[in-house]
Each structure stands twice: as structure tokens, then as C-alpha cells.
Amino acid sequence: MALLTQADLEKGELEVVLASNIFSKSPNLAKILNFIGQKYLDGSESVLKEYNIAVEALGRSPDFDPKEDSIVRVEIHRLREKLKHYYETEGADRPFIIELRSGSYIPQFVRRSEINGNSPHQPGPGASRQTAGTQVASGLKSESIAVIPQGSRRFYIWGSFVAGAALIAILAGKMWYLPSAGTTPTKTTEPVGERRAVTAAIGAGDDVRIICGYSKRDYVDVEGKTWGPDHYFAGGAVRVEPRAFIARAADRTLFETSREGEFSYNIPLQRGPHELRLYFVEMDYGPGTTRGGGEISRLFHIDVNGNRLLTDFDVFSDANGTNVADERVFKDIAPADDGQLHLKFTEGINYPILNALEIVPGLKGKMLPIRIVAQEHSYTDEGGRLWSPDRYYSSGRLATYVPPVEGTSDPGLYSSYRFGHFDYAIPVADGRYAVTLYFAETYFGAKNPGKIGVGARLFDVYCNGAALLRNFDILKEAGGEDLALKKTFHGLQPNAMGKLQISFVPIKNYATVRAIEVVDESQ
């Protein structure tokens, strides 16, 4: 009997998925999946462009213009979510997974046993199938790994018998390596020689992005930024705990591993001001968790170069909940006299945690501008400025099928919007900020589907509880439908949690926004 080839297995996987109950109820998504799958199997990936998918798979007319009709981007996003749902439910036992990675229309057929932290369907980076003390993939550090079993999730083992036996031993034995409440995890130290090797490889002065506890070489996030594995540390222990959802997280991978205990980072930097971002998520304490508690359950201190940066820091309170991504930003951060930035995390009540850290060259006395566009992908405007994809939000939905907006040199900035009852918790350093909100009314108005004119949509906008706009009517303010509108507010200050919390509250129909720009006005 002839062995099946890789192509045979991929073709079979595509047929099984298309025949599933989940995709039989979504004919449009099945058409797209079948089209891109067949082109991939035929070796015709070069035709997998937005135009071809629209015309050949969705039946759009030959004059289809991707700049005016975002149907393909919308449907591809839905397809990614549908595939994720399928492999978590009906297809949980499948040995292959079909992925559509961000920014690509080319399907990837991946064996479950080979899935790494970039997969949206499986445990994130370092979601470890390593036993405690196993050498990490990057070769940078041997350390204890905290393994959190994933309930009834099944793993398919295609590697060697030894690797398979090791995995089964981990799962069967339920090797939980979690510190109990009020205790500190097992500590490890990093040999000096290994730290020097990493320093030479990274190069002083480069942007530093570290995912704490991450054991692979590189990870590219949704914005295209490259994050390295955990290095420059001393002490603490690694914890790996993939989560299906983390609120306000633009990229869940940054929050699926962490360093816990009392630990420090000693990071080489060039002279001059830098911007430091620390990323946290509280997974242990709060309503609905096995440990309960909430505020004051975990307090710890953070020092930089021997000076106190945060005292009695409470991630749960700062993020306002469990499983909520939290980010703190500090400007004018500089290395000590030895050319290194020394970060130290010490216990107050319970052990410290850190999920990721980012250090980039900054501006003296000012934070770098923050630009967010309510879209799934980043956008570069006419001035060459980069806008990050939608992030820091809670609630609301994205609308991506909208008519073009006029009255602006950057219509692409208005090609999607968030709507509903929602807010953005934007982390900033101490200071005063100008916030510019970008609007356009593309639903209401005589030429648009909503038909109704002025007064059809009314909403309020608040920043940290203070009203910025009351009974705001985009149609009235802009002077018509499909016209760009900007509103700028000066002198805004962060709240005690280091956030500009911008809330959009509906009065009549839903609130909406296209983009948000935050610029430091500090002197």
C-alpha cells in the first residue's frame, strides 16, 4: 500500500474541513476556503490576491476595486475566526490545522505537533511541552518551566517516541509548577557568560523587546515588531499559560508567558533618553478565579537603577480586572553609569509578575506619539507616519465595509471604524497630551444606507470621566455624509493608573470613531 504524500494529506484535510457541519452552514466562507485551498494545492499561490478572491470566489464583477470595497478583508477575518472555532470544537481531533496568518491569503497546513507560538489555535510561544530544566530552543538559558495543562485539549505526537513519551509524562503527571499564594516561585540565575553572548548578538542601542518566559528565537507581533526570547534576567521562574482571550490585548502572545518571583533585568543601552513599556496581566486573583481575591491580593515594587519606579503595584487594580492586558509607560529612562538599565522586581504582598518589556529610543521630556487606526492592520499615512492597528479597546465592533471618505488627503485612515458602546484605555507617561479623534459619517445621510440626516446619531465622549463631546453629531459637525472630521483636545492628563481612558457613550444609535492620535504636549 502506497504511503500518502504531504500533498495528499493536505488535500484530505481541506476536504474534511469543507464537509464539516461548521462550514456547511457558512457557504460564503466555504467558497473562499475552497478557492484559496485549491490554488495553494495547485501551486498557484501567486493568484491569491484580494481582487482574485473577490471576483472568482465571491462573484464580484470584474470592475471590483479593493480600495472601495473591503468585502474580502472582512470575509478573510471571518474565515480565520471560523477556522479557529472549528479546530477548537468539531476539528479538535484533526492531526493538521489550516491557518490563515495575518496579512496573507495563502493557507498554511501545519501539523499539530509542529505548531509554535505563532498559531492562533494552540498554546502560544513556549506553551511548553518541555519538562522542568529542559534546554530552551534559543540555547540562551536552561531554566524551570511552569506548565499549565490545557484541560481536555488533545495533543498529536508526530515526533520521536522519546519526545512523545516525555510529553505524555508531563500531561499525565500534571506537573503543575505554580507558586502557591504567599510564596515565591523557584528562582534561577543566568550565568554571566550566557548574558554576554546575548548582549553581543543583540547589540547595545537597538530597540529591546522581550517576551518574559518566551523560549523561541523571535516573534513578530501584529504590528510587525520583532520580540526576542527572555534574556538579560536573573532570578524568578517562568510560567506558561495560554488563554483563549485576554481583554485589551492587541497581541495575545505577549501575555501568554511570564516571569514570576523576585527577579531583575540588566539590559545594555546606549546613552540618551528611552521609553520603557512594561506589560502585565493578572491571571490568578479576582472574581471567578480559583484563588479569589482581587485588589491587594498581589502588590509588588519596581525599581530602575536603584530608584523606585512603582510602589505596591497592583496589576488587578491597574487593569481593572482579571485577564485584562495592562501596560505602563515611562519616559526619560536612561542606563546607569555602567551602560545598563537595571530593573528590579521585589515582593510586597505576593510575588511580582511581568509578561513583556519594551525599550526604544525616546524624546527628552516627551513620550513618543501614539497613533491608532480602527483597522485590523497597520496603516502608513501620506506623511509616512505609521498607525498601529486597533488596540487598547474594550467592547464595540469593527465595521470594515464602508464607502470612501472625502475631504482628506488620507482616505485610507477612515476606511474602517469601531462602533457601539466602547472605550480605549491608552497607556501614557506622566504629562499633558493632545488627543485628536477622527470621524466620518458613512452610514447615516441621504446617500447612505441609514438615510436619516442630522440627529440620527448622537453620542458623548469622555476622557477619564471628563466630557470632551456632548450630544455629538458627526453629520452636523462635518457638514454632510462621507466627509472627514477631526476633533482635537489639549492638556489632557493620565489617571492614577497611567491611562487616558477615552469612553464613547451612545445617546441615539451607536458611538463611533475612525482613529485616535495622542501627542505629548509637555514642556
Please report the DSSP string for 248-268 in residue order.
T-S-GGGGSEEEEEEEEEEEE
Give percent of the chain with pLDDT exceeding 90.
57
| Per-residue CA distances from 2 to 8, 15, 16, 53, 469 (Å) | 11, 20, 21, 35, 70
State the pLDDT at residue 195.
35
Contacts of 162 (CB under 8 A, 6+ apart): none
The pLDDT tens digits of the residues spanning 10-30 come to 898 999 999 998 888 788 889
Helix (H, G, I), strand (E, B) or coil at 110: strand
Q: Are 362 and 368 in contact (CB under 8 A)?
A: yes
State the pLDDT at residue 269.
93
Contacts of 262 (CB under 8 A, 6+ apart): 184, 187, 235, 236, 345, 346, 347, 351, 352
State the pLDDT at residue 114.
67
Cell of 401: 465595509
Lowest mean pLDDT among 38-47, 226-235, 341-350: 38-47
Name the burial class of residue 205, with classes exposed (0-12), middle (13-18) and buried (19+) by CB atoms within 10 angstroms of its CB: middle
CATH number of 145-361: 2.60.120.430
**How many whole angstroms separate alpha carbon 200 and alpha carbon 192?**
13
145-361 and 370-520 have identical folds: yes
**How many whole angstroms separate alpha carbon 6 and alpha carbon 109?**
10
Residue 174 has pLDDT above 50, yes or no: no
Residue 388 vs residue 162, higher pLDDT: 388
For residues 354-377, give the mean pLDDT.
95
Q: Are 259 and 214 in contact (CB under 8 A)?
A: no
Residue 1 vs residue 359, higher pLDDT: 359
Strands, E assignment, 12-154:
96-99, 108-111, 145-147
Q: Which of 88, 115, 84, 112 is nearest to 100 (CA)?
A: 84
Give percent of the chain with pLDDT exceeding 70.
81
Where residue 201 falls among pLDDT bands split at 50, 70, 90? Answer: very low
**How many whole angstroms separate alpha carbon 134 and alpha carbon 259?**
17
Partners of 506 in the β-ladder: 459
Q: What is the CA radius of gyration of the chain?
A: 25
Helical (H) or strand (E) element with 74:
helix 71-88
Where residue 128 falls among pLDDT bands split at 50, 70, 90? Answer: very low
Cell of 38: 485549491
- H-assigned helices in 182-249: 192-202
The pLDDT tens digits of the residues spanning 391-444 come to 999 999 999 877 889 999 999 999 999 999 999 999 999 999 999 999 999 999
The pLDDT tens digits of the residues spanning 104-126 come to 899 988 888 766 444 333 333 33
For the chain, the 3-state helix, strand and coil shares in percent, each to the nearest 5, are 20, 30, 50
Q: Are 112 and 96 in contact (CB under 8 A)?
A: yes
Cα angle 214, 220, 222; round to 5 = 115
Q: Are 107 and 79 in contact (CB under 8 A)?
A: no
Half-sphere exposure of residue 411: CA atoms within 13 angstroms, side-chain side: 11
Half-sphere exposure of residue 447: CA atoms within 13 angstroms, side-chain side: 11
Q: Which of 69, 238, 225, 381 is nearest to 60 (CA)?
A: 69
Average pLDDT, rounded, for the chain: 82
Where residue 156 falls among pLDDT bands split at 50, 70, 90? Answer: very low
State the pLDDT at residue 68.
64
Lowest mean pLDDT among 81-95, 203-217, 244-258, 262-276: 203-217
Residue 49 has pLDDT above 70, yes or no: yes
State the pLDDT at residue 1.
47
Strands, E assignment, 213-305:
219-220, 226-227, 233-240, 257-268, 274-280, 299-304
Q: Give residue for cell 448622537.
A: 458
3.10.20.340, 3.40.640.10, 2.60.120.430, 3.40.50.10490: CATH of 370-520: 2.60.120.430
Contacts of 11 (CB under 8 A, 6+ apart): 41
Where residue 235 falls among pLDDT bands split at 50, 70, 90? Answer: very high
The pLDDT tens digits of the residues spanning 99-109 come to 888 778 999 88
Residue 187 has pLDDT above 60, yes or no: no
Domain ranges of the chain: 6-114, 145-361, 370-520
Where residue 2 falls among pLDDT bands split at 50, 70, 90? Answer: low
**How many whole angstroms separate alpha carbon 459 and alpha carbon 173?**
55
For residues 335-354, give the mean pLDDT.
96
The pLDDT tens digits of the residues spanning 450-479 come to 888 899 999 999 999 999 999 999 999 999
Q: Are 345 and 315 in contact (CB under 8 A)?
A: no
